[in-house]
Amino acid sequence: MKKFEIAAIEAVAKGYSGIWSKKDSGDAYLEIEGRRIGIVVMTTKARARVPEPRLRFDRVAVGLVGRLQANLSKSVPDGRTVVVTVTAPIWQDSKTGVTLDSELRRLLAARKARLNTIIHGNRIEIQVLRGGTSRTAKLIGFVHNPQPDPGLLFDTTRSCRRTCHRVARHIGLYFV
């Protein structure tokens, strides 16, 4: 096994509080709570270097996302997660938060899955993801710098949710 494959397996084992082992055939297994699960590490070809979205954790960004989570936690139906991206810097954060709150409620009522809009000069993208449980996060918010497109954030969130739930069902764990 290559170093990066071992590092990936160790990260998964640590994340699930498991122990991994390797057979002579090169197969790797993860043991969690007495269950043995086969692990396959796959790689993809390197693509052109695309800048990653840089997330913002300043007071305005954290406050906006926190208010949205608090206001909408009861409005998002079970089995759904709303993912919101806002391009920084945030202009008129209080007004943007109020308008965004009403837009999110309207989107949920209309049972639509996507919205791209500009609110008070802020570029905002929203996606409603399906397939969660009653314990899945209701709203995930990202505030990022203008470049590049936030599509990577949606793809990563969707992929992480899908993978976590698939593994959880397989080994009987439940995520909050």
Mean pLDDT of the chain: 80
Give me the percent of the chain exceeding a pLDDT of 70. Answer: 81
Predicted confidence (pLDDT) at residue 46 exceeds the cutoff of 70: no
| 38 and 66 housed in the same domain | no
Mean pLDDT over residues 17-42, rounded?
A: 79
Question: pLDDT over 90 for what percent of the chain?
Answer: 18
Q: Is 77 in the same domain as 36?
A: no
Task: Tally the domains of the chain.
Answer: 2
Domain contains 173: no
Strand runs labelled E in 1-159: 19-22, 28-32, 35-39, 80-87, 114-119, 122-130, 139-144
Indicate the range of 16-20, 98-102, 126-130, 156-160 predicted with least confidence.
156-160
What is the pLDDT at residue 172? 52
**pLDDT band, very low/low/confident/very high, at 97 (cuts 50, 70, 90):** very high
Residue 49 placed within a domain: no
Range of the domain at 151: 59-166
Q: Does the pTM of the predicted model rise above 0.75?
A: no
**Is 119 within 8 Å of 103 (Cβ atoms)?**
yes
Residue 54 included in any domain? no
Please give the pLDDT value at position 126: 92
Predicted local distance difference test score (pLDDT) of residue 171: 53
